[in-house]
Amino acid sequence: MTDFAITRPAAPLFGGRIQTFFAGVAEGLRRYQSFRVACAELEMLSDRELADLGIARREIAAVAAKAARG
């Protein structure tokens, strides 16, 4: 008589929750980096250049956050 072992592929750890968690962390870091770059670029502009774009200096963080969200 021959014995057959039934094997199943390994299930993702905790139902994929760890992978989902780290994917979320990576996405958050990507957005934060995008936010920082946008802020730095906008802060280098003069008030005149910002006005041409329709952005007040106090709005830089909000505009950069919106850009980072996509």
Question: What digits encode the pLDDT tens for the residues 10-67?
Answer: 666 666 888 899 999 999 999 999 999 999 999 999 999 999 999 999 999 999 999 9
In whole angstroms, give the CA distance from residue 68 to residue 35.
5
Report how far apart, in Å, the C-alpha atoms of 8 and of each of 2, 11, 14, 44, 59 are: 19, 8, 16, 57, 55
Q: How many domains does the chain have?
A: 1
Q: Is residue 33 part of a domain?
A: yes
pTM here?
0.72
Q: Is residue 7 part of a domain?
A: no
**Amino acid residing at 43:** E
Q: Is residue 21 part of a domain?
A: yes
Can you give the pLDDT at residue 9?
65
Domain enclosing residue 41, as ranges: 17-69
Can you give the pLDDT at residue 33?
97
Q: Is residue 12 part of a domain?
A: no
- At residue 1, does pLDDT exceed 80? no
